[in-house]
Amino acid sequence: MSTLPGYRSNRIVELMGEPAELRGADWLKDSLQQAIMLELATLPPYLCAMWSIEDQEGDVYAAIRRVVFDEMSHLGLAGNLLTTMGGRPHLADSGTVPTYPGPLPGGVRPGLIVSLNRLTRESVELFARIEEPDIPVAKARTHTSIGAFYSAILEVFRQHADLITGARQLRRNMAHHGAGNSIVAITSLSDVEMAIDVIKEQGEGTAASPENPHPGESGELAHFYVFREIYHGRGLIKTSENPDRWEFAGHEIPMPPAFPMGRVPAGGWGASGTAAPDAGTRALLDAGNRAYSTMLRFLEQAWQTDAPAEATELLKRAVTQMRHLEEPARSLMSRELPDGSGRTYGPEFRYSDA
């Protein structure tokens, strides 16, 4: 097991508390490892909500799918930010892979417990809290954001631009999922600025607008506002100008029917005194966990090799494993729990060395 601070540590809070004059290469490496864990932590809950939607042709499914691909891109960019200055991402480690239910890595959003569940108003409210900006344009409440952490990382890169080497960079064209979504090499300070702008603004929007400055479609909103639209069941529209005012008063956005997936318990299905899954269900759970774990190993190896062709092949293998997650996940959502609740199973996203 890694000796790195785990996802249940308060390491991001501690890093943000360090004086600016002490923030150098070691601070950056530590911070970017935490950023990678943070980006990874959002994927399983978003995927569970997306896969639980019965109608995969609907607007809500498409909106969450766009967010998921953005988050995959953010994970790739965070890894490239770490390797460009000599770091080595750690993803395949039971101590650093988030488990659910549990907190976000590094002490971000204290008190927020992230769980794996179907799409509900409660789950999209949770997702909005993960993505919440410091000062939302449609919700006047100040809160320390993930974006503030990335802003601090950018400032250290600006002070230490000599650390940027362009080493071990992964590349993947994802432009078909939206502007700014490709995983690109980080070889200069301007590349760093671009990558961090994409990560922050796709999630939070800007101080002036809730719109995503790097959209797949014109008028696409940043993640926080996408989730708030689903929560309110109404589109977010500008209702006045000078100053601008945005309200959830647009078109109706009905909550789509979803499979009745239950909340995955701590330790997975069959743990904590709950009834053990039957053999067929356990096989599906294990298949999903193996694909997830293999994906993380391939991705970690891709960032740790110095051979570009090998890195490209390992990244392709990681993407293939990612695609293998959906089928067992949706199959699980058609299998009822043995407790008579009418709820169904769902994927566990548990890391295994096997």
80, two tokens: 């490239």
Task: Enumerate residues 6+ apart whose C-beta is below 8 A from 52.
Answer: 118, 119, 258, 259, 261, 333, 346
Max alpha carbon distance in the chain (Å)? 62
Domain assignments of the chain as residue spans, ordered by start: 11-264
Residue by residue, pLDDT tens for the chain (354 residues) are 445 666 677 888 899 999 999 999 999 999 999 999 999 999 999 999 999 999 899 999 999 999 999 999 999 999 999 999 999 999 998 888 999 999 998 888 888 999 999 999 999 999 999 988 765 444 434 334 688 889 999 999 999 999 999 999 999 988 776 667 789 999 999 999 999 988 888 876 555 578 777 766 777 888 999 999 999 999 998 898 887 788 999 999 999 999 999 999 999 999 877 788 999 999 999 999 999 999 999 999 999 999 999 999 999 999 999 999 999 999 999 999 998 999 999 999 999 886
CA dihedral 82, 3, 10, 80 (to 10 degrees): 10
Dihedral sign for Cα 13, 14, 20, 23, please.
Answer: negative
Buried b (16+ CB within 10 A) or exposed e, 249-277: eeeebeebebbbbbbbbeebbeeeebeeb
From the list 239, 345, 296, 325, the residue with the least C-alpha distance to 36 is 296
Dist. CA 73–CA 51, nearest whole Å:
19
Dist. CA 81–CA 304, nearest whole Å:
13
What are phi and psi for residue 227, nearest 5 degrees?
-70, -35
Which residues on neighbouring strands pair with residue 236, listed in sequence order?
248
Residue 340 CB burial class (10 angstroms; 0-12, 13-18, ≥19): exposed
255, two tokens: 């909550």
pLDDT at 338: 92
The 3-state DSSP class for residue 194 equals helix
Residue 58 CB burial class (10 angstroms; 0-12, 13-18, ≥19): middle
Dist. CA 69–CA 24, nearest whole Å:
31
pLDDT at 207: 56
Q: Check: CATH 1.20.1260.10 for 11-264? A: yes
DSSP 265: P
Residue with tokens 């109706």: 252
